[in-house]
């Protein structure tokens, strides 16, 4: 399963979800869905914008874990 670490990266950068939403141009609702791991898909263009603003790699936000490992 893919785990989303957006909240951890935001915390490391000292940025709120609201601030990220404004800088990336993505609604709070859509970022919240991504942050909670409820998104079924993520566009590369969205991931690209998030990584640009947070100065991070996609692998810092999205992590693969085998089922049953938490």
Percent of the chain clearing pLDDT 90 (strictly above): 89
The 3-state DSSP composition of the chain as helix, strand, coil percent (nearest 5) reads: 55, 10, 35
CA distance linking residue 62 with residue 70, whole number of Å: 14
CA distance linking residue 40 with residue 20, whole number of Å: 20
Q: Would you state the pLDDT for residue 49?
A: 97
Q: Would you state the pLDDT for residue 26?
A: 93
| pLDDT band of 3, cuts 50, 70, 90 | very high
Q: Would you state the pLDDT for residue 70?
A: 57
Q: Would you state the pLDDT for residue 68?
A: 73
Q: Are 31 and 20 in contact (CB under 8 A)?
A: yes
CA distance linking residue 14 with residue 68, whole number of Å: 31
Q: How many CB atoms are located within 10 Å of the residue 34 CB?
A: 21
Mean pLDDT of the 15-27 span: 96
């Amino acid at each position: 399963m893919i785990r989303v670490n957006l909240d951890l990266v935001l915390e490391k950068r000292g940025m709120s979800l609201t601030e990220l939403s404004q800088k990336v141009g993505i609604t709070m609702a859509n970022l919240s869905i991504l942050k909670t791991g409820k998104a079924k898909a993520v566009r590369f263009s969205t991931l690209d914008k998030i990584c640009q603003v947070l100065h991070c790699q996609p692998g810092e936000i999205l992590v693969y874990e085998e089922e049953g490992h938490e």
